[in-house]
Amino acid sequence: MNHTYHDLVSQTFYFPQEGFGLEENTLLFHGIRLYDLLEKYGTPLKLVYLPKISDQIKKAKNYFDTAIFQLQYQGKYNYTYCTKSCHFRYVLEEVLKNDVHLETSSAFDIDLIWKLHSEGLVKKDKIIVNNGFKNDAYIRRICGMIQSDFTNIIPVMDNWEELDIFDNYLGEKQFNIGIRVATEEEPHFEFYTSRLGIRKSEIINYYYEKVATKPNVRLKMLHFFVDTGIKDNVYYWDELRKGIKTYCELKKVCPTLEAINIGGGLPIKNSLGFEYDYGYMILEIVRQIQDACDENNIPTPDIFTEFGKYTVGESGAHFFSVIGQKQQNDNECWYMVDNSLMNTLPDAWGINEHFILLPINHWDRDYKRVNIGGLSCDNSDYYNSEAHSNQVYLPAINKDEKLYLGFFHSGAYQDALSGYGGIKHCLLPSPKHVLIDRDPEGKLVDWVWANDQDSESMLKILGY
Ligand SMILES: Cc1ncc(COP(=O)(O)O)c(C=O)c1O
C-alpha cells in the first residue's frame, strides 16, 4: 500500500496542475525549483513571481472581452487595479504594463500615484477611482490632482457630506464623481447593511439634492461591491441584481451616468482542489447588466472592476523551515517554523483565510497529521487546517532532517496588514523578500528585493 505524501496529493487532487509540479520529489512553482532557491536564499522568505500578475490581468480582460463579444454588449470593460491589495512598486510597475486603471483608498495612496506620475508610469489621463470614507487629507489630495489637470479622477462619494467638501475646495472647476451604493451584508454577518456607501433607498434623493444642484459636477459611475466576493450563490446574484436595478433607476434621471463598478472579489485558488468557472461567472455578470438595461430601455454602461486579491494573490508565496518538532500528547504533533505565522500571514489568523500549503521537499516520505506552530509566544500563532479539510498533512521527517514549507498564493494584503518592515509581535522580523521574473528569452531570473528586517531598524522605530 502507498503512503507517501506524493500519493496523498495525487489521490486527493489533479496533480501536477497549473503552477505546481514535482521534480525529484521537490516542488516546482511555475517552473521555479524551489528547493534550490531556498538553499540559495534561506528561510523565512517571501517570494513574488512577477509574470503571474500580468497573466491574471490578461486572463480577466480576456473573459470580459469574450463575454462582451458573445453578447454583443455595447460598453467597454475597464480593469482597475486596487492598490491596497499590494502597494509595492514592483507590483505597480508590472500591473501598469497592462493598460489598466487604478483605484485608491487613502491620502498616501494619492502620493503613490504622484510618484508613479513623476516617473512617467502614470499619465494625467489615467482613470483613477478614489474609494473609501474620506478624511480631509485624502479629499485635499484628490482635489489637488483634479486641479493639476488629471482628467479622469473619479472620487466615489461614500456619504452625504463628502461632495460639499469637494465642491468647497474645487470652486467652479468641473469634476466627475461616482456614488457608492451600500450593499446588504451576507445574512450571517453582524450587520445588515454595509457601512460603506449610501443607502440604496436614498440614492435618487441624494442625486437630486447634492449632485443635480451643482452644475460643475458630473455623475459618471455607480459603484457597489459585494465584499464577500463574486460567488455563484443566491446572495451574490441578488445583490448584483439590486445594484444593477439602482443603476437603471439612476440612469433614467442622470444622463451623464455611464459606468457601473462592481468592485473586487474575484476569488483565487486557495486549495489544489479549488474549482471556479471564471468564464461563466463573468459572462453572467455582463448578461445581467445587459438584460436589465434592455428591459429599462437604457444604454449599457462601461463596466469597471477593482480586482485586488485576484491580481496579486497568486503571484506570492511565503516559505519557512521546520526547525523543531514537539509531540505534545499522543495525537498532537507540532512542526515549529522559523517565523511567526500571525505576523507574516495575518489573514490566516484574523479572518481564517486559507493558503495552499505544500512541503518543498520529501514528497517521497510517509505523511502525518501535524499542526504548524509559529515562533511568537501567542497561542493563536498556528496553522492547522486547509481549505479542503480541517487538517494539515505533511511528510514525516526525523528531527534532524530539513523540511521546507511553502504557503502559496499569499501575495495580497499580508504585507500591508502585518506592517512590512515595522514593529512586530515578539519582535520577529519581516522575512527576506525575493522577486522572480523571466528575461526576454523566458529564462527565470531572481534577485533580492529586501533583506530580512534587521534588529536596528525595528529598535529605531521603538525609540532605542
Ligand atoms: C472598494 C474596494 N474595491 C476593491 C477591493 C478589492 O477586493 P479584492 O481584493 O477581494 O478583489 C476592495 C477590498 O476591500 C474594496 O474595498
Report pLDDT digits (tens) over 316-347. Answer: 999 999 999 999 998 899 999 999 999 999 99
Give the C-alpha separation, 43 to 46, whole Å: 9
Atom of ligand 1 nearest to the CA of 156: 1
The pLDDT of residue 88? 98
Indicate if 295 and 413 belong to the same structural domain.
no
- Give me the chain's average pLDDT, please: 96
Pocket test for ligand 1, best of 130, 225, 262, 307 (most atoms within 8 A of CB): 225
In sequence order, what are the residues at sequence separation of 6 or more whose Cβ sits closer than 8 angstroms to the Cβ of residue 27?
20, 21, 34, 35, 358, 359, 360, 361, 363, 406
Which grid coordinates belong to 74? Answer: 455595447
Indicate if 112 and 247 belong to the same structural domain.
yes
CB 158 within 8 A of CB 196: yes
Residue 454 has pLDDT above 70, yes or no: yes
Indicate if 318 and 293 belong to the same structural domain.
no
Question: Percent of the chain beyond pLDDT 90?
Answer: 92
Q: Which residue has the CA at smallest separation from atom 3 of ligand 1?
A: 263
Atom of ligand 1 nearest to the CA of 103: 3
User: Is the residue at 64 inside a domain?
Assistant: no
Indicate if 302 and 267 belong to the same structural domain.
yes
Lowest mean pLDDT among 28-32, 156-160, 262-266, 387-391: 387-391
Residue 2 has pLDDT above 90, yes or no: no
Atom of ligand 1 nearest to the CA of 180: 1
Ligand 1 first shell, C-beta below 6 A: 82, 85, 103, 131, 225, 263-266, 306-310, 412
Give me the number of domains the chain comprises. 2
Averaged pLDDT for residues 44-65: 98
The pLDDT of residue 3? 87
**CATH number for 434:** 2.40.37.10
How much distance in Å is there from the Cα of 85 to the middle of ligand 1?
8
Which grid coordinates belong to 250? Answer: 439612476
Residue 1 has pLDDT above 70, yes or no: no
Indicate if 331 and 406 belong to the same structural domain.
yes
User: Is the residue at 97 inside a domain?
Assistant: yes
What digits encode the pLDDT tens for the residues 81-131? Answer: 999 999 999 999 999 999 999 999 999 999 999 999 999 999 999 999 999
**CATH number for 119:** 3.20.20.10
What digits encode the pLDDT tens for the residues 269-315? Answer: 999 999 999 999 999 999 999 999 999 999 999 999 999 999 999 99
How much distance in Å is there from the Cα of 132 to the middle of ligand 1?
11
**Domain end point (choices 261, 278, 307):** 307
User: Is the residue at 140 inside a domain?
Assistant: yes
How much distance in Å is there from the Cα of 369 to the middle of ligand 1?
35
Indicate if 300 and 321 belong to the same structural domain.
no
pLDDT band at 186 (very low <50, low <70, confident <90, very high): confident
Closest CA to 266 of 315, 307, 218: 307
The parent domain of residue 97 ranges over 73-307
Indicate if 319 and 297 belong to the same structural domain.
no
Atom of ligand 1 nearest to the CA of 313: 9
User: Is the residue at 435 inside a domain?
Assistant: yes
**Domain end point (choices 249, 278, 307):** 307
**pTM for the structure as a whole:** 0.96
The pLDDT of residue 189? 81
Residue 390 has pLDDT above 80, yes or no: no
Give the C-alpha separation, 61 to 179, whole Å: 24
Indicate if 287 and 325 belong to the same structural domain.
no
**Domain end point (choices 261, 292, 307):** 307
Indicate if 216 and 116 belong to the same structural domain.
yes
SS3 at position 399: coil
Indicate if 297 and 200 belong to the same structural domain.
yes
Indicate if 214 and 355 belong to the same structural domain.
no
Give the C-alpha separation, 175 to 195, whole Å: 25
User: Is the residue at 67 inside a domain?
Assistant: no
Residue 154 has pLDDT above 60, yes or no: yes
CB 392 within 8 A of CB 357: yes
Indicate if 255 and 367 belong to the same structural domain.
no
